[in-house]
Amino acid sequence: MSELSQIVKAYDVRGTVPQQWDERAAEALGAAFAQLLNGSAERRDTVVVAYDMRQTSPGLAAAFAAGVRAEGVGVIDVGLGSTDLLYYASGILDLPGAMFTASHNPARYNGIKMCYPGARPIGQDTGLAEIRDRAQALLDKGEPHPAGEPVAPIERRDLLADYAAHLRNLVDLRGIRPLKVVVDAGNGMGGHTVPSVLGDAVLPALPLTIVPLYFELDGSFPNHEANPLDPANLVDLQHAVREHGADLGLAFDGDADRCFVVDERGEPVSPSAITALVAVRELAKHPGSTVIHNLITSSAVPEIVREHGGEPVCTRVGHSFIKAEMARTGAVFGGEHSAHYYFRDFWFADTGMLAAMHLLAALGGQDRPLSELASAYERYVASGEINSTVADQAAKIAEVRAAYPEATADELDGLTLRFADGAWLNLRPSNTEPLLRLNVEAPSRERMISLRDDVLGLVRR
């Protein structure tokens, strides 16, 4: 019997298959999702479903669809897709949706990201807890759903070309200078979407030469994990960029909603720099708009937003917080340190593909290398996120606060300390593990290393 409390997380469903959940649980979750919709203002007569390349995804998605249909709600099955393709479908069709993916997790995992019409996220506080409880009740009765066989219709529809055309309409790449781009799809869904959006699979060719790495869809991830946040998974991309003399490299995670960048030297470009670059482009189109960033993006981001007439707004770490602020403020754009990028023109949802297209437009609109272009947006030196196992998180945070009485403190998310010389640190507890997560940024490498090591000494003592 599946214990859904183990796999229903704050923002999605995620667990090992079949150990933690299976098609029976997926069917119950589908029925519960339809029940939630039927009893709410979000009621629709159809749900759109997509899935990634993992071996278990088609079966789980089909079982979920059966549960939805048994409750009298129809299904549009768009088949293989990236998470942002599912968001596109939810937005353009104004339908609730479900994406079957475990993102960057290893092959044995799978999951579901659910949304209301218009790609509005469903989290614990906005319906996911109710879906969990309804589904668990169905499983406890020994029935995945109470209504028997599916009674509502299912329609299969291919939206890949429409998705590609929509993105190309948002960022016109036809007039850029020719660029050579290495793309590492990590055997994930980028191998499905990149040929259609950036290549000539369904639309006329752009001035781009795409050098593909691991475009074969394979949920066993035979080459490396589809998690570009781990530097080890960028090594092949970095080598290929240098080998082919490419202008840049792009790496997508498993469900292709996040995009990481390396420059022509194979050096990583920070997501904060990409956030600032895209923000400048969006502010040029929408002067005076709000731009959202989380509290561990570089200080360069709010500085650059203000310099270009925008209004920066800081949020806690986590996509539910940034999406909520996007909707509340009507922000034109939002970016996170984890390479999630959110666009008002994309239903406030995240799409790494659109961020990559903005970067290609900026680079292709001038005659200088990416390393030079990016340097204008990289003003500080960052430590990256460092985890420490700590038994008493609150006590350690208090100890660090007491050690720096000269710093200005805020507690929006854990503890952030800001120093007069522009350095800052954030120390925040994990929601699920006995960990403290440290991020440090400073005007110089020496200052960053000194502050980082001092804080780690306190935390790990």
Residue-wise pLDDT for 364-403, tens only, equals 999 999 999 999 999 999 999 999 999 999 999 999 999 9
Q: Which pLDDT belongs to residue 270? A: 96
Contact 117, 383 (CB under 8 A): no
- The answer, as to whether pTM is greater than 0.85, is yes
Q: Which pLDDT belongs to residue 432? A: 65
Inform me whether the pLDDT recorded for 150 exceeds 90: no
Q: Which pLDDT belongs to residue 365? A: 97
The pLDDT tens digits of the residues spanning 163-173 come to 999 999 999 99
Burial of 286 (0-12, 13-18, 19+ CB in 10 A): middle
Contact 298, 269 (CB under 8 A): no
Average pLDDT, the chain: 95
Active site residues: 103
* Backbone phi, psi, residue 238, to 5°: -60, -45
Q: Which pLDDT belongs to residue 430? A: 83
Q: Which pLDDT belongs to residue 145? A: 56
Q: Which pLDDT belongs to residue 1? A: 55
Which DSSP string corresponds to 17-41?
TTTT--HHHHHHHHHHHHHHHHTST
Least confident of 40-44, 142-146, 362-366: 142-146
Inform me whether the pLDDT recorded for 288 exceeds 60: yes
Inform me whether the pLDDT recorded for 238 exceeds 90: yes
**Number of neighbours of residue 187 by Cβ within 10 angstroms:** 24
Inform me whether the pLDDT recorded for 147 exceeds 60: no
Cα–Cα distance measured from residue 459 to residue 160, given in angstroms and rounded to the nearest whole number: 48
Predicted confidence band at 318 (pLDDT cuts at 50, 70, 90)? confident
Helix-helix angle 83-93:160-170, to 10 degrees = 90
The pLDDT tens digits of the residues spanning 419-434 come to 999 999 999 998 767 8
